[in-house]
Structure 1
Amino acid sequence: MSDAITAFQRKLHLWKSQVDKDDLAHFPVCQSISASFPGAFSCTPLATKLSRLIDEFDQRFSDFRRQRSNFAIFANPFTIDVDSAPYNLQLELIDIQSDSCLRAKFEDVKIEVLLLCAASRFDATAPTSRCPYSVTVWEHLSVRTHIFNNESKQD
C-alpha cells in the first residue's frame, strides 16, 4: 500500500509541474477543450486543486514517509544497509543477507515458500531468538504475506 501511495503522490507532483507549464498531456478532456476553444480553459484552477491534493496527501500520509526505510527492510531484506537498520534487527539481517540459498529462493519463489524454507533456520518464536526485543524480520514477512494473501483474495 505504501508503494501505491508513493506512486500516486509522485504522479500528483508530475501533473502539477506539467499543468503549471500549461501542459495538459495527462488530462485529455481538458486538453481537448483547450484546443477546441483557445482561451476558454485556464490551467490555474486545476493547478490549485492539484496543490491542495498534494498538501492533503502530504499531511495524511506523513507517517508513510517517516516509515519508508522500515518498510524497505521487510519488502526486501537483502538490499538493506545493515548499519542503518534498527539495532535489534542488524544481526538477523546479516544472517539473512549472508545466506545465498535464501537469497536465491527470495528471488525465485513467492514469499510464502521463502518463509517455509527459512522457518527452521530463523525460528523467531524460539526462546533463544537472536532478536528478543522486537518482532523479527521473519515475523514481519509472515504478516506481510498474510496481508498480501488477504488482499489478493479480495481482488
Structure 2
Amino acid sequence: VWELKEEIGVHDMYTNVKAFKSKLIFFSRQISDKVFTHFATLATQKETIQNVKKYSKSLDDLHAEFCRRFSDVEKIDQSLQLVACPLSQNPETAPEEVQLELIDLQSDFVLKEKFSSLELRDFYASLNEATFPNIRRMAQKILVLFGSTYVCEQTFSVMNINKAPHRSSLTDEHLRSILRITTTKLTPDFDALAKKGDQQHC
C-alpha cells in the first residue's frame, strides 16, 4: 500500500507501480518453483505445496489487473522517463522534436548541476524557453498530471466545510476563490495587494 503523498507526481507514482508489477511476476515465478523466501508464513502452512498453482495464478491475475488499470499511463512511459531523468536518456531513441534539445541539455555542465540541486518542476522552469521549447512543453504536460488523488480529496473537503447550510449566501464565484486559495502553493504578496487596495480607495 502506498502512502498518500501531497507532492507525488505521476512519474513517481508510475515508478512505484512498475516496481510492484515486477515484484508480482517475481513472486509468482518463485511460488511456482516452490520457493517461499519472501513468504515466511506461507512456507509454514501444510497445504502450501499443493496450492502453489492457485497462489501463482492469483499473483498473475493481480499483475494483469495492474496492467489493465495503468495501461493509459504505460503509453506515456517514455515521456515520463525522459522528464524524470533527461540526463540518462538516449537522444537517438527520444522523440524527434526533443532530440537536439536533449543533446544540448546533456552537454551543459551548468544545467547538469541545476538538475541535481533543484526540484524537477523548478529545473524545467529554469530552462531557457527559446533554447528548450519542446523539452519544456513536454515537462509541463507531464508535471501537471496528478500522481495521487490528494488534491481532489483536499478540494472536496474544503468545499464541504465551506458550503454549509449556514453559509447559503456563498456564491459559486466566492467558492471557487476559496478553493483556489486553499489548494494553491502560491504565497500571495499581501503588501502589494494591500497597497493596490489603498490606491483604489483613494
Same fold (TM over 0.5): yes
* 1:122 paired residue number: 129
- The residue identity in structure 2 corresponding to 1:83 is E
Q: Distance in 2 between matches of 1:149 and 1:9?
A: 17
* 1:75 paired residue number: 84
- Deviation above 6 Å: which 4+ runs of structure 1? 148-155
Distance 1:64 1:143, change over 3 A: closer
The answer as to 2:64 corresponding to 1:55 is: yes
* 2:22 paired residue number: 10
CA deviation string 1:2-59 (max 9, x = no partner): 2122101110011011101222232333223x2xxx3x33322111211222333344
Cα deviation, residue 80, structure 1: 1.4
Judge conservation of contact 2:86–2:102 (CA < 8 Å) in 1.
yes
Q: Distance in 1 between matches of 2:65 and 2:147?
A: 30
- The residue identity in structure 2 corresponding to 1:5 is V
* 1:110 paired residue number: 119
Task: Mark the runs of 5 or more structure 2 residues left unpaired by the alignment.
Answer: 1-12, 155-202
Q: Distance in 1 between matches of 2:106 and 2:123?
A: 13
- The residue identity in structure 2 corresponding to 1:11 is K
* Greater Rg by CA: 2
1:138 maps to which of 121, 136, 139 = 136
The answer as to 2:32 corresponding to 1:23 is: no
Q: Distance in 2 between matches of 1:68 and 1:84?
A: 13
SS in 2 for 1:78: helix
Q: Which has the higher contact order (CA 8 A, sep 6+)?
A: 2
Aligned length: 139
The answer as to 2:105 corresponding to 1:88 is: no
Please provide the CA RMSD for this pair. 3.0
Judge conservation of contact 1:91–1:130 (CA < 8 Å) in 2.
no
Q: Taking structure 1 as the reference length, what is the TM-score of the superposition?
A: 0.70
CA deviation string 1:90-142 (max 9, x = no partner): 12212222221111110122123323432xx224xxxxx775xxxx2213323
Q: Taking structure 2 as the reference length, what is the TM-score of the superposition?
A: 0.56
The answer as to 2:41 corresponding to 1:43 is: no
